Chains A and B, each alone.
Chain A
Amino acid sequence: MKGNGMLGEAEYYHDKVVMRLVQFSMLWAVLAMAVGLWLAAEFVWPTLDFGQFWLSFGRIRPVHTNGIIFGFGVSALMGTAFYSVQRTSHVPLFMPKLAWFCCYAWQVVVLLGGLSLLAGWTSTKEYAELEWPFDIAITVVWVAFAIVFFGTIATRRIRPIYISNWFYGALIIVIAMLHIVNNLEVPVTIDKSYSLYAGAQDAIVEWWYGHNAVGFLLTGGFLGMLYYFLPKHAGQPIWSYRLSVVSFWAFTYSYIWAGPHHLHYSAIPEWVQSLAMVMSLVLLAPSWATMVNGIMTVSKAWPKLKSDPALKFIVLSLAFYGLATFEGPMLAIRSVNAVSHFTDWTIGHVHSGALGWNAMVTYGTFYYLVPRLVGRELYSTRLANIHFVLALAGTLLYILAMWAAGISQGLLWLSVNTLGELSFSFREVMSSMKPYYALRLFAGAIFWSGTLMMTYNLWRTIKGANVLKVLIPPVPARWRINKSVAQPVGVEAQA
């Protein structure tokens, strides 16, 4: 490696693997959301599985969640991490062949994993349903991902490690820790294992995992995406770099404690539940600090919002990020949780995060990134603007439907008359959900149609084009890693 920033020969970023991951990510978005639509339709027409085991609700529901989180989400995170870590380190990817391995091996895991879920292979733990052979395969790919990512940082030519890399780094490290501990199990046959933990202990470990998979993958990972692409796109440095650093550590420390709020009023020790509730409320601070930092960063580039659909998506995603990270702590309060737990309110909360935050920030990033990867204009800005309206309308309708459904379920289930007798039978409450489930199906269809439109738009953008070879620019003297060079005076300019 040349440490002095004087380029002896031309070096280029590895962007082809980024493009391929973006393509896979969009493919999974379309497929996994289609499965989601099918599930929503089964709520309205329960015979839509046609008596086929592989279309049965209990089997395809984890296909939907795994497809979105691991197919769409992780492919997007891996692609954008590879893109941004090179640019914030001023070096090409470390071990590019290993990066290609990550790209393809991950798709094989997601594809075969999905099929195994249809076949009924499942360890049941939410977001960790895949059986032990896949747990091992995931670990292998994840280690490769870590080597490429941290290897690139370790060989960087620029002195500071930019904040987006911390979030991506936390994603890689913490998910590895959670994945390994939660999936400790004893194999019986290729398709079956028994958890190393039993009963209440198993529940505590699973929700330590489950909650923080949301935390460090769906929140932290995507914050990495936000912290690189938002300032790039807005053409502004992070409003307060110091705030981003403080909120990073506060986030990394406090998120982990919040898991057992998924087990309120359960048979786990009460102090564990109470601690989780308090730490969930604490979590509001770093979450909103990040949102404020994001909004203030855009505020100097406000006029751009009128003409740039990609930036609109990112700003909207920040609003939903704020909403979901407010709603989360509220749902973690025991008395609120008594009403919300087990109801469709949870489903609404998850989708305000998954559609409003994860999907929107990814869409905004892809609309920005894909044209730049091939050096062309986006095929149609008009289509992207229509997509924006569809995505917003779909998300809002979805959340409203599930709020209405969930809050009424929760209150009706708990309702008793003056004699302490139940006011409503379970059947009565269930059959009153029909209109909400129908509205949710409609909302999902709107959101999905926007995603299809985007896929077409991006496909037309890259059709027949090659991924550009981008020359790695030299590092300005004061940023060079060479020890003889003076300390950088501040890192803001890097954004």
Chain B
Amino acid sequence: MSILGLHKKLEENTGLLIFGILLVSSIGGLVQVLPSLFEKSLETPGVNVRVYTPVELTGRDIYIREGCHVCHTQQVRPLLAEVARYGPASQAAEFVYDRPFLWGSKRTGPDLQRIGGKYTNVWHELHILDPRSVVPESIMPSYPWLATQMASDTGNIEAKLRVLQRLGHPYSEDDVKGAVASLQGLREIDALIAYLQMLGTGYDAAATQAGGH
């Protein structure tokens, strides 16, 4: 049957049309996306990469809840100026415990992937509670409620670790059992700062030397 004849059939048959659209639109995903899901280099942790502690994980989920990723990226591109400004370019192996990924798409504020250790905890607290007290020209919102809400009230940390365990993150039974206790007495802002301070610490200089991403 000629292509036109085949198409005539398609044009007049609901089922064939549905099937045709499904077929044609899935090729791209099958060729381009699916192989990446089996690409080992994208899911193997780097030598310096570890799972988030319960405190850091809680901080990360607060970062997500407040939508920090809406204005801050966590992705340093291998461009001269960008590496000079933020630090070494991102490596896939740094993100293997990130569910979801938080690379972001807009830099209203600076990139945060290499923020860990650059500022003190005190600076971060001042900045999060009242950004313009330390950066006068900042347009970041302030987050006063993070200083009054307790980290132990933020979600169910034990259930979170259980889910991540099932997804293959190497948490031990002791990690899960001790999770609630480790949040005791911490405010949400403490957990968030703990997360910010560990960002970028998974970088592996040797891997970049070897030509990896």
Chain B nearest CB from A416 CB (Å) reads 5
Contact of B84 among A166, A192, A199, A421 (CB under 8 A): A421
Contact of A252 among B24, B81, B101, B143 (CB under 8 A): B24
Bound together, the chains give a CA A56 to CA B213 distance in angstroms of 35
Inter-subunit contact B105/A197 (CB<8 Å): no
Bound together, the chains give a CA A160 to CA B7 distance in angstroms of 11
> Size class of B's contact patch?
35 or more
**Interface secondary structure of A, over-half rule:** helix
Contact of B71 among A58, A174, A206, A260 (CB under 8 A): A58
Chain A nearest CB from B184 CB (Å) reads 20
Given contacts A186-B163, A266-B90, contact A58 B68 (CB under 8 A): yes
Bound together, the chains give a CA A125 to CA B103 distance in angstroms of 10
Inter-subunit contact A266/B84 (CB<8 Å): no
Bound together, the chains give a CA A124 to CA B58 distance in angstroms of 15
Q: Which residues of A contact B65 (CB under 8 A)?
A: 120, 122
Known: A188-B159, A256-B26. 8 other contacts (CB 8 A): A46-B139, A174-B21, A204-B33, A249-B24, A256-B25, A272-B36, A409-B107, A426-B85
Q: Which residues of A contact B185 (CB under 8 A)?
A: none
Contact of B28 among A153, A257, A263, A415 (CB under 8 A): A257
Inter-subunit contact A198/B96 (CB<8 Å): yes
Q: List 10 A-B contacts (CB under 8 A).
A: A51-B144, A56-B141, A57-B141, A120-B66, A187-B163, A197-B100, A263-B103, A269-B42, A413-B85, A414-B79
* CB 8 Å contact bits of A24-57 with B (1 = contact, 0 = none): 0000000000000000001100110101010011
Does A61 interact with chain B (Cβ within 8 Å)?
yes
Does B210 interact with chain A (Cβ within 8 Å)?
no
Bound together, the chains give a CA A173 to CA B167 distance in angstroms of 29
Inter-subunit contact B14/A154 (CB<8 Å): yes
Bound together, the chains give a CA A201 to CA B14 distance in angstroms of 35
Bound together, the chains give a CA A43 to CA B137 distance in angstroms of 12
Given contacts A56-B67, A194-B163, contact A201 B22 (CB under 8 A): no
For window 198-213 of B, CB contacts with A under 8 Å fall at: 213
Does A407 interact with chain B (Cβ within 8 Å)?
no
Chain A nearest CB from B69 CB (Å) reads 6
Given contacts A124-B102, A160-B11, A420-B80, contact A169 B21 (CB under 8 A): yes
For window 31-89 of A, CB contacts with B under 8 Å fall at: 42-43, 46-47, 49, 51, 53, 56-59, 61-62
Inter-subunit contact B21/A166 (CB<8 Å): yes
Chain A nearest CB from B205 CB (Å) reads 15
Q: Return the 6 tightest CB-CB contacts between A and B, nearest first.
A: A58-B67, A199-B95, A256-B28, A120-B65, A265-B77, A342-B107
Q: Which residues of B contact A265 (CB under 8 A)?
A: 77-79
Bound together, the chains give a CA A422 to CA B37 distance in angstroms of 37
Inter-subunit contact A174/B25 (CB<8 Å): yes
Interface residues of A (CB under 8 A from B): 42-43, 46-47, 49, 51, 53, 56-59, 61-62, 120, 122-126, 150, 153-154, 159-161, 166, 169-170, 173-174, 177, 181, 186-189, 191-192, 194-206, 208, 216, 245, 249, 252-257, 259-260, 262-269, 272, 275-276, 279, 338, 341-343, 346-347, 409, 413-416, 420-422, 426-427, 430-431, 491
Interface residues of B (CB under 8 A from A): 7, 11-12, 14-15, 17-18, 21-22, 24-29, 32-33, 36-37, 39, 42-43, 61, 64-71, 73, 75, 77-82, 84-85, 90-92, 94-110, 131-132, 135, 137-145, 155-156, 159-160, 163-164, 166-167, 213
Q: Which residues of B contact A263 (CB under 8 A)?
A: 103
Given contacts A57-B70, A189-B159, contact A420 B103 (CB under 8 A): no
Inter-subunit contact B85/A57 (CB<8 Å): no
Chain B nearest CB from A197 CB (Å) reads 7
Q: Which residues of A contact B90 (CB under 8 A)?
A: 266-267
Bound together, the chains give a CA A428 to CA B117 distance in angstroms of 23
Inter-subunit contact B140/A46 (CB<8 Å): yes
Contact of A201 among B21, B37, B80 (CB under 8 A): B37
Bound together, the chains give a CA A331 to CA B27 distance in angstroms of 24
Inter-subunit contact B14/A150 (CB<8 Å): yes
Bound together, the chains give a CA A196 to CA B168 distance in angstroms of 10
Chain A nearest CB from B53 CB (Å) reads 16
Contact of B141 among A42, A62, A194, A260 (CB under 8 A): A42
Inter-subunit contact A170/B21 (CB<8 Å): yes
Inter-subunit contact A57/B67 (CB<8 Å): yes
Q: Which of B29, B97, B159 has the most CB of A within 10 A?
A: B29
Given contacts A59-B66, A120-B65, A201-B42, contact A194 B164 (CB under 8 A): yes
Q: Which residues of A contact B144 (CB under 8 A)?
A: 51
